[in-house]
Amino acid sequence: MIALKYKIDRSPNTLVEYQVSKDGRFGWFLGIWHPENNPVLAELVAEIRLEIRNSTVDSISRTEAESWLKDFFKDLHWRMYGQVSKTGLQEKGLSVFFGLLFDHELLFVQFGRLFCSITDSQKIRHIGTNYRHHQIQTLSKMRLLGFEDKDIQVKVQRIFLEAGERFILLSGNLCTPVYDDMRDVASLPHLIRSFDNEPNPLWLILEAEDRLITPRKRRLSSLQISSFILIAISLIAVIYIIFGNRFIEQLFHRTRLSVQSKKGLRLDQIPNTLAVDSQNVIRYMERIVNQPARDIELQIEWTATLEYEVTAAPVFNLGTIFLTAENKLIAFNKKSQQLEWKKSYTTDLSSVNYVDNQLMVSVAPNRLFAYRDDGLEIWTSEIPVPSQAAKNLVPMRIGIADDPRLDRPIMVFPSDKALTIMNGNTGESLSSITFTKELSAISAYDNFSNCFYAVVDDALICIQLKILN
């Protein structure tokens, strides 16, 4: 149950009032605060108390509470506006807190300079409106009850107090000195009570004790379990239809590439039975999803400016793009498009290839290097390396094995200033992208990121292959 530990108010500026049922399972708490000493405040406070006591608050249920709070305080705001606007108060609005308690659940609304927090023996958590910097906010921002001639925003907070936790309501003039001087959360109630000589003090401290009635754990019936399973299957089917593009096949495909990229893992280490089961799963998924690709489009994903003239087609792995610029080897990060590392050689590079998770670099006339992805040299060897004139604009074929989203192979034709996708079976042009400057090199198809890396003038461009099924 919830027990009232401490409260303080000073009439007519402050008021704390409450009413609880005999069994302690239901109750309401009211707090009102105003900074001025004016006799008219007593009439306003009495009016609010009368409105609450004459309301249906004692008969509402937990499910009706939130709606009741919104409707009641919107109506009370207009009543207070009619009363306060005719008074001689300088601050024509009231700070009001009202909370409804159902067992250990508290629903409350707050207006103006009344602030709430929850504490246990170790920490404090402020809830609802934050007390910090409230002194410099406008009265409109403070949302005083009865201040503005328009509907007030009523926000209902809902909290659950565990055994041993405290709920603290504190007026704004005490928040800063109390929380700034706090050294131990456990002694916070005693610290608050030391400010009883401050002008216009208001506080309310509730403490949660062991529950009087422990709710019985409900066991799900077989009908409910069956319903949950059917709903889950339906949601999976809906998600599959919404995302489309054979995302399950793409997941298999990218997972296989990620596993193969790990050092030391070889396909011959995977048991044959597992390989057979994987093939059966893929065939089964192919039977489920057999929609043809209806829309294929080339689209520029990002562009990065280069400081060097690229002399060969880009090479890549799962996370890095490797560029050749005469006698320099440059590594770019795919995601950030930032330089990762760079190496220079005494002569031009003959070829750069990524094989078996190693970057193989041939440097004319007789040197071969092997590097890790981070540029650390693994080994070097002296072997004859013939000069190789790289063909940087070579047509490519992309099949279903390269991209599971496809239902038929496509051909990629690079030219001086364009890149074109064609249906290899019919010769139909599916998509084309044109550059303003000359295309000097293009990489192979990155079937993990579904894109190409093209070099146009002094820029590296990532060209995405968009496929909609």
Q: Are residues 458 and 415 in the same domain?
A: yes
| Sign of the torsion angle spanned by Cα atoms 246, 247, 248, 252 | positive
Task: Give tens-digit pLDDT for 321-363.
Answer: 998 888 899 998 888 888 899 998 888 887 888 877 788 888 8
Q: Are residues 367 and 267 in the same domain?
A: no
Total residue length of the chain: 469
Task: Give tens-digit pLDDT for 262-292.
Answer: 554 444 444 554 554 556 555 555 544 444 4
Give how many domains the chain has, as a whole number: 4
Q: Are residues 6 and 66 in the same domain?
A: yes
Cis peptide leading into residue 386 (ω within 30°): no
Q: Are residues 121 and 239 in the same domain?
A: no
Q: Are residues 174 and 34 in the same domain?
A: yes
State mean pLDDT over 40-68: 91
- Nearest Cα to 114, choosing from 183, 29, 202? 202
What's the predicted TM-score (pTM) here? 0.47
How far is residue 256's CA from residue 273's CA, in Å, rounded to a whole number? Answer: 16
pLDDT at 265: 44
Domain annotation covers residue 214? no
Domain annotation covers residue 134? yes
Task: Give tens-digit pLDDT for 98-116.
Answer: 999 998 899 999 999 999 9
pLDDT at 238: 77
- Nearest Cα to 110, choosing from 31, 4, 180, 181? 31
pLDDT at 52: 93
State mean pLDDT over 50-67: 92
What burial class does residue 453 get, using C-beta atoms within 10 Å of its C-beta: 0-12 exposed, 13-18 middle, 19+ buried?
buried
Residue 248: is its pLDDT beyond 70?
Answer: no
- The values of phi and psi at residue 467, to 5°, are -130, 125
Q: Are residues 300 and 359 in the same domain?
A: no
How far is residue 75's CA from residue 185's CA, in Å, rounded to a whole number? Answer: 38
pLDDT at 290: 45
Contact by Cβ (8 Å): 152, 77: yes
Domain annotation covers residue 213? no
Print the domain residue range for 343: 314-389
How far is residue 468's CA from residue 244's CA, in Å, rounded to a whole number? Answer: 8
- The values of phi and psi at residue 327, to 5°, are -100, 20
Mention every residue, 6+ apart, whose C-beta is less than 8 A from residue 206: 2, 3, 4, 5, 29, 106, 161, 166, 167
Q: What residue type is assigned to position 70 of the chain?
A: K
Q: Are residues 182 and 237 in the same domain?
A: no
CATH of the domain at 345: 2.40.10.480
Residue matched to tokens 């400016």: 305
Task: Give tens-digit pLDDT for 194-209.
Answer: 898 888 899 999 998 8
Q: Are residues 266 and 343 in the same domain?
A: no
Q: Are residues 380 and 395 in the same domain?
A: no
Q: Are residues 414 and 469 in the same domain?
A: yes
Domain annotation covers residue 215? no
